[in-house]
Structure 1
Amino acid sequence: MKAQSLRIFFKTLGPGLLFASTAIGVSHLVQSTRAGADYGFALLWAVMLANVLKFPFFEYGSRYAASAQQSLIDGYRDLGKGMLLLYGLITLGTMFFVTAAVGAVTAGFLHQLFGLEGIISIKVTTYLLFATCMLILLIGHYKALDRLIKIVGSVLLATTLLAFFSTLGRGPAADPFQWFDASILQISNPSFPFLIALMGWMPTAVDLSAWNSLWTLARRKESGYQSSLKEVLREFNIGYWISALLAPCFMLLGAYLIFGTDKVLAQGSAAFAGDIINLYTESIGDWSRWVISAAAFSIMFGTCIAVFDGYARSAQRVWQLVSPQNSKGEESSGIRTFQIVLIVVGLGALLVINQFGNSLRSLVDLATAISFLVAPIIAFANYKLVMGLKPEDRPGITMRWLSRLGLVFLSGFSLVYLYALFF
């Protein structure tokens, strides 16, 4: 019986790991490490709060796909064409910035891994990276993405935990730490925009919940196994809470090895990637440099491919639903749309990267802030959709209350941030 359960689990395994890979990328490697380096543990509460209060809205992506047998994007269409168009506009407004932020970080780690500094520019590395990501998806589509993530995710998980416990054993470079700083909540504080950016992609943007519903459906089609709601949610929960627990690990690396010292994380993508790798090797040992470089690049590479796939897949579905012919069952038309959107996303992201140059922090902060501002709209739509499922598939009372708290949390901080921007 146990062997059979294990086989079933592996048949459903995939969407949750894809989610974890997407989350661990920029929000963990970049934002969590920066939070620890600049503020010690003063923003740990924000990281934990965002992970807990945003959980229901991501879980609803898997829940809705498993129960309704369609994606959240189809659900938005059922709520009204206005909601579908709004989601399409949100996707259009965020996809270039988010892909650019993820791509810039990934290119930096690629540059470090192969020692390309002085050989080719970071711009050329970025072009090569984007071309590779698009080629993999054009050739292998979901199957290639699914298999890649399972390998690189396990490598980074092992190395991150090793670095975490090694650093924990050594102790902080400077103390004492501040566990809460009320001044950060003041909208006039220069740190407030970073607080919003940190929570915007912690663990990732709420509008990306639709991707998980698409990946759930793609996994069913690829495996040929009709998984139950319980099996789908179990697989997603594993991926989600692994990513949530890793966020403080990255924060600790920044807090213990940089906070209170004269070290500063670099702005440029290649230099920043080098600083992150140095944090790991300082904790584990110089012998681990190649292992860490490969693991960090691998998880960012997986994130980059997942972002390309997620935006192309979601934009493709929006187009299918709003187009007059409604090509829901025309697979060849869907593939062509996917390919076109994939190329458009890549070119648009490259334009954004060229615009921001080496200002990696500004690019990441802008992308994450945009994601946080649109989060309440998507969160409310997800909640409304799952409450319309058949009674036995709806979330329980605990999840409902957590959803309401999450809506208050997302809406409150978004309104305060808007006030800080315009008043």
Structure 2
Amino acid sequence: MSSEVDHNDVAVPLGWRLRLRQVGPGIMAAATGVGAGDLVATMVAGSKYGYTLLWAVILGTAFKLALGEAVGRWHLTSGQTILAGWRTLGRWALWYFGAYALVWGFVYGATAMSASGLPLNALFPVLSVRWWAMLCGLAGFLLVWYGRYAVLEKVMTAFIGVMFVTVVGTAVLVTPRLADLGEGLLPRLPDGSLVYALGLIGGVGGTITMAAYGYWTTAKGWRGPSWLPMMRTDNALGYVTTGVFVVAMLVVGAELLAGQEVVSGDKGLLTLGDTLAADYGQWARIPFLIGFFSVSFTSVIGVWNGVSLLFADWWRTVRAAPENTTPQRAPAYRAYVLWLTFPPMALLFLDQPFQLTVTYGALGALFMPFLAGTLLVMLNSRRMPALGRSGWVSNAMLGACLALFVYLAYDQVLGLVT
């Protein structure tokens, strides 16, 4: 037998080959979570400390693996969405998420569009960053408004293929020093590197989009505890792929930009494109900028779909309405897609993509402690079926995530204020 049947009579694949054909939600979540800002932060760390902080990238990948697995396990074993779980913690959790989603969405909409417009402006300067950003927002809007999950997954997979070829290809081009790369696996903290290390650990692969993972598993047709092995394979593949991307950027920063002062916003990736052109010729710059666009635009597609699903479920949960079998047609889903796309375009006229990135970083940090803390409580609750409760490994990882994200939230908000 190549498959078994869960309680919903949906075939569950057994064996690696069959599972690989089913992967998708994990790739969606991981690719959505890795934006241009994450890659720049990694590149800056590589330029300052070489391969010394490689261990922080690996640890960050492990932390996001634990969070993604916890979100997926909640959906599959409780039979409820994560919003339903937050409702059990009290109305405060629902209202925190709702208020956060509205503020975050307004800022992130402009940030994601701007990050997508920067490489297009570098490739085709016929339009300014602002207008390229608006076109990217409209393209994401149309894809998410009319595209079903299966279509979005295929589009995301295509962009991820481009990301892998361009970003990892750039790392191979600059010829990493394998001996130094191996030494970077040993945890060390050079003077002044603590903030960079914590940022790498906390920034590998997503903020609010991690909570959307369960909705994508549902869209894929995964329901019931028998899908847990498939979910874990999918989640692991997604975040391992993310880890490879981030390691590749660390290599590029260490090899090409050692000792240089790199701009700490999305424009830092344009600096790298110019350096590639100077060292290897224009042919090296163009594929990298295409990869930069792919990294940024996957975040547009994933957020426009995933966080809109979260918001639609939030609105349904607040009103105690019955579950919607077609959430992408729900008025709340479409209202949030509109909210992500059009009001944030006003911020693009400020022509301050770097400041948008800084503000988004502070807002993003306010969600991760909430996610890690609520998962710790929900997955250890008596209401949770025994099969889905967290063991000591999951609790230790979620507890470490909570402590790390509380500190990072404090640091990010303090930096924004000062």
Shorter chain as normaliser: what TM range? 0.7 to 0.9
Q: Distance in 2 between matches of 1:128 and 1:416?
A: 34
> Per the alignment, do residues 26 and 399 of structure 1 end up closer, same or farther by CA in structure 2, a change over 3 Å counting?
same
Partner amino acid for 1:405?
A
- Superposed CA deviations along residues 42-61 of structure 1, whole A, max 9, x for unmatched, are 65454444333343222211
Match of 2:157 in 1: 150
- Superposed CA deviations along residues 324-357 of structure 1, whole A, max 9, x for unmatched, are 6x152374895322122111111232233334x2
Query: Does the Cα contact within 8 Å between 2:365 and 2:412 map onto a contact in 1?
Result: no
CA shift, 1:272, in A, is 4.5
Query: How do 1:242-253 and structure 2 match up within 5 A?
Result: 242-253=241-252
Q: Distance in 1 between matches of 2:417 and 2:176?
A: 46
CA shift, 1:138, in A, is 1.0
Query: How do 1:2-401 and structure 2 match up within 5 A?
Result: 5=15, 8-10=18-20, 12-41=22-51, 43-44=53-54, 46-113=56-123, 115=124, 117=125, 119-169=126-176, 180-185=189-194, 200-205=202-207, 207-220=208-221, 228-261=227-260, 264-265=262-263, 272-278=268-274, 286-323=282-319, 326-329=321-324, 331=326, 334-355=329-350, 357-358=351-352, 360-388=353-381, 389-401=384-396
> Per the alignment, do residues 337 and 413 of structure 1 end up closer, same or farther by CA in structure 2, a change over 3 Å counting?
closer
Partner amino acid for 2:365?
F
How many equivalent residue pairs? Answer: 400
Q: Distance in 1 between matches of 2:161 and 2:95?
A: 38
- Superposed CA deviations along residues 210-263 of structure 1, whole A, max 9, x for unmatched, are 111111111117xx99961111111111101221233122022112211224x6
Query: Does the Cα contact within 8 Å between 2:68 and 2:235 map onto a contact in 1?
Result: no
- Superposed CA deviations along residues 43-82 of structure 1, whole A, max 9, x for unmatched, are 5454444333343222211111222233212211232222
- Superposed CA deviations along residues 126-161 of structure 1, whole A, max 9, x for unmatched, are 111111110111111322211111112122213322
Q: Secondary structure at the match of 2:204?
A: coil
CA shift, 1:108, in A, is 1.0
Match of 2:400 in 1: 405
Query: How do 1:407-422 and structure 2 match up within 5 A?
Result: 407-415=402-410
Return 5+ residue gaps in structure 2 as ranges. 3-12
Match of 2:6 in 1: none
> Per the alignment, do residues 279 and 394 of structure 1 end up closer, same or farther by CA in structure 2, a change over 3 Å counting?
farther
The Cα RMSD (Å) is: 3.4
Q: Per residue, is there more helix in 1 or in 2?
A: 1
- Superposed CA deviations along residues 152-206 of structure 1, whole A, max 9, x for unmatched, are 212221332222223234899xxxx996334354xxxxxx5x777655533221x
CA shift, 1:18, in A, is 0.6
CA shift, 1:124, in A, is 1.3
Q: Distance in 1 between matches of 2:160 and 2:278?
A: 22
Q: Distance in 2 between matches of 1:283 and 1:148?
A: 33
Partner amino acid for 1:217?
T
> Per the alignment, do residues 332 and 23 of structure 1 end up closer, same or farther by CA in structure 2, a change over 3 Å counting?
closer
CA shift, 1:39, in A, is 4.8
Query: Does the Cα contact within 8 Å between 1:133 and 1:305 map onto a contact in 2?
Result: yes
Q: Distance in 2 between matches of 1:65 and 1:91?
A: 20
Q: Distance in 2 between matches of 1:111 and 1:299?
A: 15
State which drifts further: 210-219 or 92-101.
92-101
Q: Distance in 1 between matches of 2:357 and 2:246?
A: 17
> Per the alignment, do residues 422 and 13 of structure 1 end up closer, same or farther by CA in structure 2, a change over 3 Å counting?
closer
> Per the alignment, do residues 414 and 291 of structure 1 end up closer, same or farther by CA in structure 2, a change over 3 Å counting?
closer
- Superposed CA deviations along residues 267-290 of structure 1, whole A, max 9, x for unmatched, are 6x6x65533434556677643444
Query: Does the Cα contact within 8 Å between 1:61 and 1:71 map onto a contact in 2?
Result: no
| TM-score of the two chains, using structure 2 as the length reference | 0.83
Q: Distance in 1 between matches of 2:278 and 2:389?
A: 48
> Per the alignment, do residues 332 and 89 of structure 1 end up closer, same or farther by CA in structure 2, a change over 3 Å counting?
closer
Q: Distance in 2 between matches of 1:92 and 1:304?
A: 16
Return 5+ residue gaps in structure 1 as ranges. 186-191
Of all paired residues, the percent bearing the same amino acid is: 20
| TM-score of the two chains, using structure 1 as the length reference | 0.82
Q: Distance in 2 between matches of 1:219 and 1:208?
A: 17
- Superposed CA deviations along residues 104-131 of structure 1, whole A, max 9, x for unmatched, are 1111122234x1x1x2222111111111
- Superposed CA deviations along residues 355-374 of structure 1, whole A, max 9, x for unmatched, are 4x23x333222212222233
> Per the alignment, do residues 170 and 284 of structure 1 end up closer, same or farther by CA in structure 2, a change over 3 Å counting?
farther
